[in-house]
Copies of this chain bind each other. A is one copy, B any other.
Amino acid sequence: MSRNEITFRLATRADLPSIVRMLADDELGSQRERYEDPLPQAYYAAFEQVDSDPNHKLVVAELNREVVGTVHLMFLPSISFQGSLRAQIESVRVDKNYRNRGIGNEMLKWTIKRASERGAHVLQLTTHQSRADAHRFYVRLGFKGTHLGMKLSLK
Binding site for B on A (CB under 8 A): 16, 19-20, 23, 29, 32-34, 40, 42-47, 49-50, 53, 55-56, 58, 72, 74, 76-87, 90-91, 112, 115-116, 120-129, 135, 138-139, 141-155
Contacts and interface: CB of A to CB of B under 8 A. Distances in A.
Nearest to A46: B83
B55 A78 contact: no
A122 B152 contact: yes
Contacts of A127: 147-148, 150
B142 A124 contact: no
A111 to B, nearest CB: 10
Number of this chain's copies in the assembly equals 2
7 contacts: A43-B79, A43-B82, A116-B154, A126-B126, A129-B146, A144-B150, A145-B149
B147 A151 contact: yes
B121 A78 contact: no
Contacts of A147: 126-129, 148-151
A100 to B, nearest CB: 21
Contacts of A78: 46, 50, 72, 90-91
